[in-house]
Structure 1
Amino acid sequence: MATTEVPAQVGTRRWWALGAVAAGQLMVGIDLTIVNIALPSMQQDLGLSDPSRQWVITLFALGYGGFLLLGGRMSDLIGRRRALLVGLTGFALSSALGGAAANGAMLLAGRGLQGVFGALLTPAVLATLAAAFPSPAERGKAFGIYGAVMGSASGLGVLAGGVLTEYLDWRWSMYVNLPIAALAAAGVLYAVPAVQRASVRVDVLGALLATVGLMALVLGFARAESDGWGAAATYAPLAAGVALLAAFLAVQARVKSPLLPLRIVTNRKRGGSYLAVFSLAIGMFAALFFLTFYLQTVRHYSPIRAGLGFLPLTVGLMVGVRAVSRLLAQASVRTLICPGLLTIAAGLALLGLLRSDSNYWLQIMPVFLLVGLGTGWVLVAANSTATLGAGSDSAVAGAMVMTSQQVGASLGTALLSTVAGTVAAHSDVVHGFNVAGVGAAGFLCVAAVAVYWVLSERSPDHSRWKLPSRSTRL
């Protein structure tokens, strides 16, 4: 028998709580990209082989993507406040382990543990926001700030990685998390109340199936980038991941206390939000991946200059967040999310015009602005909608947002990198980016139509999912 939180009353320190959890999530978000810039220095200093170098990125993604659903339920079981503190402390200690690495094994262990503790932290962040800001007006502002943090983290990670690597040492790309975690933990202790918890059973089998299945999917997508889609190292984990997640869904329909209550994903508005974030991640992360390589490899920008080049992404995102935060209480979800997806598609389509000598201000900056604008627009609406009215399932509902984003990012980077690489093999690198960018834009246009239909009042809503009469305890 374990425990889960009963929704807490709104605290008077909720804005301090927002600052604390936003800082914690910013730390996790930055870490998704900061190591990309420091990776060459890491490899040289620790003598990593090329295959080992890839695992520095992959292990973080495996831990984070694989454990998000379990992290969401653990947040319910041990309490949001405790989950935040454990996540922040564990992430900081894992970062210290990676920063102090004397060899590749220590670095890889630190990166994997960072992902696991990040997966505990993120759902607790979303659940805290959902509980602290129930009123529509304040909820829009709170999730607007959170959306700005999430969306700007990638660009800030690139910039911070460049500055720290060039002027200090690659180890500071890991150590920088320690003061951030300490400040965030102090804020949690001050502003996030401990609440009474009620009894609930733990779905152990569901946790195992979901965790291993998601890890297998992320691993398969990561291997597709290095080994190709036809390699056994790619399709074997992908097939295993699909099979395990199918078994997971079957188990969730039968147990009395599921890890992921199916009413969460079958709810029309939440389902549309998850689809939107999944689609956004495919396009956004692929765009960031291509532009990082373009600026540094084709245009030969220094890490710092490349990081500065990403700043318009943050500007566009802030504009999108500010606009949608004001509309959140009045407009329907689909009128907010779908234009955001189409705005990202417009930015990706501009990648089709990219040339090796393109002018930054006229041809590259608009891509960042549009992708940032659409990302801020979608993330605020999707995160708010996914956790709205979820009650004791808030952490798991929030975890599904990040799971959708992580799987979408892994799939998009792997798939579109393959497209770009195949085209480049018969032409050049920039033309590969052109084709992949236009392809991603087309996908997002289709996704916008699909999301519009899912969020339509006329589409079926299966939120009142009923368990089979043979429900049993596992």
Structure 2
Amino acid sequence: MNSRTAGARLFCIQVEEWMIVSTGRKLNNASAARENQVYPLMPLPEKEAWPALIALCIGFFMILLDQTIVAVSTPALQEDMGATYNEVIWVTSIYLLTFAVPLLITGRLGDKFGPKNVYAAGMIIFTVSSLACGLAPDMMSLIIARGVQGFGAALLTPQTMATINRIFSIERRGAALGIWGTTAGLATLAGPIVGGVITENWGWQWVFYINVPIGVISVLAVLKYVPAFPPHTRPLDPLSMLLSATAMFLLVFALQQGEVVGWVAWIWVMIIVALVLGYGFVRQQARLAQAGSDPLIPLDIFRIRNFSLGNISIVAMGFTVAGIPLPIMLYFQQIHGMGPMQAGFMMIPQALVAVLLSPSIGRLVDKRNPNTMAALGFGVSSLSILGLSLMMILDAPIWVALVSMFFLGVGNSLIWAPNSTSTMRDLPGRFMGAGSGVYNTTRQLGSVMGAAAIGAVLQVRLVAGDGGAAFGQALLLPTVVLLVGVVASLLAENATPEATRARLAAKADRSV
């Protein structure tokens, strides 16, 4: 096939993607043109695309940093505010709850009102609520402000990935998503370090105050550098939004509170109701597609193999990233007598390696199969956490933890960029908002499950009197969960730009 024929076929493929809506029906030429305008995949020149990416990642880094940075300042916050243990737990829980619940909806709001506008609105909400957190006079005010913070984060997070996939060409999308994935990983790793330094030197309030100038910079940069896409004029289904939000709320709330209340009967009732409502949500999406309406989440998205497998993988990653900081930080502080800042510094090898390796891995993603790299990353991460676990159980020298942290940084670097690239690379333009919402939702669900499960194991082992070994035993769970990511990555199709184009060309041949 010569280059001209290949180019013509790829053009036809893109037109076909715009012409096939979730019901599978073909649109006429005018409708196809409208789909083209609503869901453009129009790469920007590199000199314009990269500043837009940086502008998006500034805010994305901040809101993910906030998930972990607060945990380190919790003891100081509790002492200063005279808070109960339950109140302190809710400072983190309410943020995760209001962050995770609306993600499926906020991903589509970017299609409806434009990702640039929704991102800016979310960042403004997040910034103002951060100031309110720092100024909170009591725990109830702080918890409410944290809930608003989480909602702001939910508005802006899906817009980052959706915009990146629109403004970068398929040949450069891997490097761009590599920066996006690296931002996510680095923010999670840097949280304990930054939180420890800020808390010991300036007080817990500055964990929130630091967000204000960064938020202002992010809003101004996004308004200047991120392009505006035409809004989606078709209405979103209210019943779909209600079913989605209710099911997600019940599921996330039950997982968060299960350990606290001892997994009593009403927790399991909430989980069952959430699953029933989730099934109703899926049925509603199918009915909307059959009726020719616009579903909140087009079910066709899950027919894309790499998208489905990539979401399975990111659940495993979210499970691990959210669950392991608690036992690690408690081990360093309670067993080795470190302060918050010293414990945070133990994470430096992991963060430093991620910073150094990420640019090279981002470039490799556009040249080699990202799924192979992701499988390797999940495997290395699993072995690294196993090393940490054995160090705690066997009371090995502390340098073993530093070595394990080093390789954990290597593993993380090999996961974020390759997995996000493989997951999103095959998606057509009309699925970008929904796909980004789903991807971020599954990652957050994994985070909630990981925090709940690892916390439950840790509590059981501490009650059993296992001492320092209990922290290592809690880390055995994520070592197993990460193997799910290895398997899912190996099952995915080759996701190099050439392989992706070949699959699309084959699809075009079959449709002729």
Q: Find the counterpart in structure 1 of residue 385 from structure 2.
A: 348
Aligned counterparts of 1:330 and 1:456: Cα–Cα separation in 2: 11
Name which of 235, 259, 271 aligns with 2:296: 259
Aligned counterparts of 1:76 and 1:429: Cα–Cα separation in 2: 51
Matched, 1:145 2:179: yes
CA deviations on 1:1-33 (whole Å, 9 max, x unpaired) are xx9654445154221111111110011011001
Q: Which moved more, 1:141-150 or 1:441-450?
A: 441-450
Q: Find the counterpart in structure 2 of residue 247 from structure 1.
A: 280
Q: Find the counterpart in structure 2 of residue 298 from structure 1.
A: 335
Deviation at 1:53, TM superposition (A): 1.4
Q: Which moved more, 1:404-413 or 1:58-67?
A: 404-413
Name which of 71, 94, 114 aligns with 1:36: 71
Large movers: runs of 4+ above 4 Å: 454-457
Alignment check: 8 A CA contact 1:9 1:131 kept: yes
Deviation at 1:395, TM superposition (A): 2.3
Aligned counterparts of 1:222 and 1:34: Cα–Cα separation in 2: 19
Q: Find the counterpart in structure 2 of residue 204 from structure 1.
A: 238
Which is greater in Rg?
2
Q: Find the counterpart in structure 1 of residue 254 from structure 2.
A: 220
Deviation at 1:118, TM superposition (A): 0.4
Q: Find the counterpart in structure 2 of residue 279 from structure 1.
A: 316
Matched, 1:54 2:54: no
Aligned counterparts of 2:116 and 2:320: Cα–Cα separation in 1: 34
Q: Find the counterpart in structure 2 of residue 163 from structure 1.
A: 197
Aligned counterparts of 1:145 and 1:333: Cα–Cα separation in 2: 14
CA deviations on 1:114-137 (whole Å, 9 max, x unpaired) are 11110110111111211121242x
Name which of 337, 350, 362 aligns with 2:374: 337
Normalised to the residue count of structure 2, the TM-score between the two structures is 0.83
Aligned counterparts of 2:119 and 2:424: Cα–Cα separation in 1: 17
Q: Which moved more, 1:437-446 or 1:208-217?
A: 437-446
Distance 1:151 1:45, change over 3 A: same
Distance 1:285 1:370, change over 3 A: farther
Distance 1:445 1:46, change over 3 A: same
Distance 1:109 1:10, change over 3 A: same
Aligned counterparts of 1:89 and 1:355: Cα–Cα separation in 2: 42
Tell me the amino acid that sits aligned with residue 305 of structure 1. Q
Alignment check: 8 A CA contact 2:131 2:212 kept: yes
Q: How does 1:392-431 map to 2 (within 5 A)?
A: 392-431=430-469
Deviation at 1:320, TM superposition (A): 4.8
Deviation at 1:300, TM superposition (A): 1.8
Q: Find the counterpart in structure 2 of residue 172 from structure 1.
A: 206
> What's the RMSD between the two structures over aligned residues?
2.2
Q: Find the counterpart in structure 2 of residue 467 from structure 1.
A: none
Q: Tell me the SS of whatever aligns to 1:200.
A: coil
Deviation at 1:176, TM superposition (A): 0.8
Aligned counterparts of 1:274 and 1:323: Cα–Cα separation in 2: 24
Q: Find the counterpart in structure 2 of residue 191 from structure 1.
A: 225
Alignment check: 8 A CA contact 1:284 1:344 kept: no
Deviation at 1:165, TM superposition (A): 1.6
Aligned counterparts of 2:302 and 2:90: Cα–Cα separation in 1: 31
Tell me the amino acid that sits aligned with residue 128 of structure 1. T
Aligned counterparts of 1:329 and 1:152: Cα–Cα separation in 2: 21
Distance 1:447 1:81, change over 3 A: closer
Q: Find the counterpart in structure 1 of residue 166 from structure 2.
A: 131
Alignment check: 8 A CA contact 2:116 2:222 kept: yes
Aligned counterparts of 2:353 and 2:243: Cα–Cα separation in 1: 39
Name which of 92, 104, 115 aligns with 2:139: 104
Aligned counterparts of 1:205 and 1:368: Cα–Cα separation in 2: 46
Matched, 1:311 2:353: no
Distance 1:440 1:180, change over 3 A: same
Deviation at 1:99, TM superposition (A): 1.3
Deviation at 1:455, TM superposition (A): 4.5
Alignment check: 8 A CA contact 2:370 2:421 kept: no
Tell me the amino acid that sits aligned with residue 147 of structure 2. G
Q: Which moved more, 1:448-457 or 1:29-38?
A: 448-457
Number of equivalences? 453
Deviation at 1:321, TM superposition (A): 2.6
Alignment check: 8 A CA contact 1:386 1:398 kept: no
Q: Find the counterpart in structure 2 of residue 21 from structure 1.
A: 56
Q: Tell me the SS of whatever aligns to 1:406.
A: helix
Aligned counterparts of 1:40 and 1:434: Cα–Cα separation in 2: 22
Alignment check: 8 A CA contact 2:110 2:433 kept: yes
Q: Which moved more, 1:182-191 or 1:370-379?
A: 370-379
Matched, 1:74 2:126: no
Deviation at 1:237, TM superposition (A): 2.6
Tell me the amino acid that sits aligned with residue 50 of structure 2. W
Name which of 471, 474, 477 aligns with 1:433: 471
Deviation at 1:447, TM superposition (A): 4.2
Matched, 1:453 2:478: no
Deviation at 1:307, TM superposition (A): 1.4
Tell me the amino acid that sits aligned with residue 76 of structure 1. D
Q: Find the counterpart in structure 2 of residue 116 from structure 1.
A: 151
Aligned counterparts of 1:416 and 1:128: Cα–Cα separation in 2: 34
CA deviations on 1:185-219 (whole Å, 9 max, x unpaired) are 11112111223234222121111111221122221
Report sequence identity in percent.
Answer: 26
Tell me the amino acid that sits aligned with residue 14 of structure 1. A
Distance 1:209 1:371, change over 3 A: farther
Deviation at 1:367, TM superposition (A): 2.4
Alignment check: 8 A CA contact 1:8 1:195 kept: no
Alignment check: 8 A CA contact 1:96 1:178 kept: yes
Alignment check: 8 A CA contact 2:313 2:484 kept: no
Q: Which runs of 5+ in 1 are unaligned?
A: 462-474
Normalised to the residue count of structure 1, the TM-score between the two structures is 0.90
Q: Tell me the SS of whatever aligns to 1:354.
A: helix
Tell me the amino acid that sits aligned with residue 193 of structure 2. L
Tell me the amino acid that sits aligned with residue 23 of structure 1. I
Aligned counterparts of 2:138 and 2:376: Cα–Cα separation in 1: 47
Deviation at 1:449, TM superposition (A): 2.2
Name which of 396, 407, 425 aligns with 1:358: 396
Alignment check: 8 A CA contact 2:322 2:451 kept: yes
